[in-house]
């Protein structure tokens, strides 16, 4: 099995093409083709993590996304953030999240704490 690291964009594209072909073949785990697919996928993941990192979302955008996803209103966030004026201040980036708010949002809505503690676009 001749497998090399992915160093260039050309290597990356060639590896993706090979993965695509192997996936169409749908090899069983433990076979030579299945092992090759597993190794190539791991190499692609490492290359993508290094060259195409995904930044954590802005805290306000993470909250807005969860609101939209779950059909929540400002009223629904009041137990987690405070009165409606406080919720609007958070959503308009006029006030930063407190640690207690972050904990409640994380626990109640399942928003990753890493996303909630990230720097806001406006620097709050």
User: In this predicted structure, what is the pLDDT of residue 119?
Assistant: 77
The DSSP secondary-structure symbol of 18 reads H
CA-to-CA distance for 118 and 95, rounded, in angstroms? 14
User: In this predicted structure, what is the pLDDT of residue 41?
Assistant: 96
Tens digit of each residue's pLDDT (9 = 90 or more) over 2-25: 899 999 999 999 999 999 999 998
CATH architecture assignment, domain 59-117? Orthogonal Bundle (1.10)
pLDDT over threshold 80, residue 122: no
Q: How many CB atoms lie within 10 A of CB 6?
A: 21
- Domain-wise residue ranges, the chain: 9-51, 59-117
Instruction: Kindly indicate the confidence band of residue 124, based on its pLDDT and cuts at 50, 70 and 90.
Output: low
Tens digit of each residue's pLDDT (9 = 90 or more) over 55-111: 778 999 999 999 999 999 999 999 999 999 999 999 999 999 999 999 999 999 999
User: In this predicted structure, what is the pLDDT of residue 121?
Assistant: 66
């Amino acid at each position: 099995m001749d497998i090399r690291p992915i160093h260039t964009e050309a290597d990356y594209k060639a590896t993706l093409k090979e993965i695509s072909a192997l996936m169409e073949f749908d090899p069983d785990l433990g076979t030579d083709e299945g092992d090759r697919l597993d190794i190539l996928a791991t190499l692609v993941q490492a290359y993508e993590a290094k060259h195409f990192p995904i930044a954590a979302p802005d805290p306000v955008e993470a909250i807005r996304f969860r609101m939209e996803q779950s059909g929540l209103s400002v009223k629904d966030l009041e137990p987690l953030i405070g009165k409606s004026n406080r919720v609007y201040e958070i959503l308009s980036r006029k006030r930063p999240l407190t640690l207690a708010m972050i904990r409640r949002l994380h626990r109640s809505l399942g928003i990753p704490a890493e996303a909630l503690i990230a720097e806001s676009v406006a620097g709050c």
